[in-house]
Amino acid sequence: MSAPLRLVIVTPERILLDEQVDALRFPLYDGQIGILPGRAPLVGQLGAGELKIDQGSTSRSYFIDGGFVQIKGPVVSILTHAAIPAKDLNVQTAEADLQKALHMPAHTDAEFDTKQDAQDRARRMIDLAKHK
């Protein structure tokens, strides 16, 4: 039998969470991944979107904004730019962020990529805020 998962979420400001969980789901840069106890080691680049944490019969969600994940043994370490509890998200603020992103100038490939990333991030935040 595998050891329970230990989730550690670190942002630039602080260690946000350090606790045992049953299962996780979160975005990688190229799609979603689910984690259960006994998962093989992994290092991956995070995308922006929902981190869903299951503990017993309850679940919680956070909006995470990129970063990296490392899974080593039962420890899942998430290093992210931001982790906002879904219950704290504001639809109006996220929609304002989307409007800013839609009006960003984009004259080079790098500027276009930045604009597209900002739009995707805002849309994911809006979706999570509306469903939580």
CATH number of residue 77's parent domain: 2.60.15.10
Say yes or no: 14 and 79 in one domain: yes
Average pLDDT, rounded, for the chain = 94
Say yes or no: 73 and 122 in one domain: no
Instruction: Kindly state the average pLDDT of the residues 102-118.
Output: 95
Return the percentage of the chain with pLDDT > 90, whole number: 95
Say yes or no: 75 and 96 in one domain: no
Say yes or no: 66 and 13 in one domain: yes
66: left (phi over 0), alpha (psi -120 to 50) or beta: left
| Residue keyed to tokens 């045992």 | 20
Domain membership of residue 54 as a residue range: 5-86
Give the single-character DSSP code of 2: P
Answer for the pair 39, 106: CB distance below 8 angstroms, yes or no: no
Count how many domains the chain has: 2
Say yes or no: 108 and 53 in one domain: no
pLDDT at 46: 97
DSSP 19-83: EEESEEEEEETTEEEEE-TTPPPEEEEEEEEEEEEEETTEEEEEEEEEEEEEEETTEEEEE-S-E
Say yes or no: 53 and 70 in one domain: yes
Say yes or no: 20 and 63 in one domain: yes
pLDDT at 3: 78
Answer for the pair 68, 44: CB distance below 8 angstroms, yes or no: yes
Helix (H) or strand (E) holding 121: helix 109-131
Give yes or no for residue 87 having a pLDDT over 80. Answer: yes
- Comparing C-alpha atoms, which of 54, 11, 48 is closest to residue 30? 48
